[in-house]
Amino acid sequence: MSRRYPPEVHEFIRSHVEGVTCAELAKITNEACGTDFDEVRMHAYKHNHHLKSGTKTGKPKGWSPIYPEDMADYMRSIAEGKNVHQIADLINEHYGRHIIGPMQVRAYKKNHGIVSNLDTRFQKGQEPYTKGKKQSEYMSPEAIERTKATRFQAGQAPANLLQVGAVVKNTEGYLLRKKQMEGTQWERWEFLHRAVWEEHNGPIPESMMVSFKDGNKENCDISNLMLITNAENLELHRSGLRFEDPDLTETGLNIVKLKIRARERKHEQRRLQGPDGGEGHREGHERGEAKA
């Protein structure tokens, strides 16, 4: 059952909530108003009345038990035009001890709204900040110790390294099979459907391609593969003669071959006729000259 407090209690809590923890607010409210708040009940009261202290610790916003209280002001005064590594070096030098690293500077700047107005992209010819430095010169001992657990050892292979014979699918939906461990990407990997065709039929001619009868790029069974030209592949799509049924696609391929052959014959006849009307026109013209 909810409690009803006098208006003066509400007013007192509202006027003293800023920057005070729930435990402290409960204590001063009880002393001033004779109430019986504890930390949990005060937390619930603040939640129900949409009141916020502005901090969980009762300290000013941005306060940290790790960093000096004036570090935010100092960092803001030196941040202009400097990267996180330079800022970390200046802060550590300013306080005479290792206080903060580059990654912590990045988080601190974000949390405190500090900007450097710096283009952090590498410029042509720019040297990395760590060049020529020992790890201990740009990382804290604690950070160096944490890296030991994840360092690669000499000759160590990644845990997710795929072995020869592994099959993966690329972004276009084709299956790739790993054929060797060394070499460039295309020396190590091969398209599975092309490899299956070559295993059964030998090398693929340069002007030909291996296609899927049912349109499923993951169905690399030899019975589902067909060798076609680029023109036949284009005409299959253009004429809508690709089907999920392999038999219908084979029928469509025969139709496409006839269409392409008919088109080639037509072009061949036009070429033989020439641009001036063809052989028949020239023969008639010659006969007319003879009669004259």
Q: Give the tens place of pLDDT for each residue, 5-32.
A: 888 988 999 888 887 888 888 999 999 8
* Greatest alpha-carbon span in the chain: 135
pLDDT, position 277: 58
The pLDDT confidence band at residue 60, using thresholds 50, 70 and 90, is low
211, part of any domain: yes
Q: In what order do the strands lie in the sheet with 167-169?
A: 167-169, 175-178, 189-191
Is the domain of 176 the same as that of 259?
yes
Angle at 10 between CA 7 and CA 16, to 5 degrees: 135
Does residue 25 sit in the same domain as residue 105?
A: no
185 close to 204: Cβ distance less than 8 angstroms: no
Distance CA 250, CA 165 (A): 31
113 and 194 share one domain: no
When pLDDT is cut at 50, 70 and 90, the band that residue 127 belongs to is confident
Residue 218 counted as domain residue:
yes
- 67 and 44 in one domain? no
Apex 45 CA angle, 42 and 51, nearest 5: 100
Residue 116 in this model has a pLDDT that exceeds 60:
yes
Mark whether 21 and 76 lie in a shared domain.
no
Whether 187 and 234 share a structural domain: yes
| pLDDT, the chain, mean | 86
Say which residue, 240 or 275, is predicted with more confidence: 240
Three-state secondary structure readout of 126-143: CCCCCCCCCHHHHCCHHH
CATH code assigned at 259: 3.90.75
Task: Give the tens place of pLDDT for each residue, 130-165.
Answer: 889 998 888 889 999 999 888 888 888 888 889 999
Tell me how many domains the chain contains.
3
Is there a domain that residue 93 lies in? yes
What value does the mean pLDDT take over residues 256-278? 85
What are the φ and ψ backbone dihedral angles of 181, each rounded to 5 degrees? Answer: -95, -25
| Residue 261 and residue 173 in one domain | yes
Classify residue 221: in a domain, yes or no.
Answer: yes
Is 104 found in the same domain as 35? no
Domain extent at residue 179 = 167-271
Given a cut of 90, whether residue 63 has pLDDT beyond it is no
Is 19 buried (19+), middle (13-18) or exposed (0-12) by CB count in 10 A? Answer: middle
Domain co-membership, 218 together with 253: yes
Shared domain check, 265 and 180: yes
| Domain assignment present for 195 | yes
Over residues 195-222, mean pLDDT:
95
pLDDT value, residue 44: 87
Instruction: Give the pLDDT score at 138.
Output: 85
292 has pLDDT over 50 = no
Q: Is residue 153 part of a domain?
A: no
Q: Is the pLDDT of residue 220 over 90?
A: yes
Same domain, yes or no, for 82 and 177?
Answer: no
Average pLDDT over residues 32-47: 88
Give a yes or no: residue 140 inside a domain: no
Inside any domain, residue 78? yes
Same structural domain for residues 182 and 114?
no
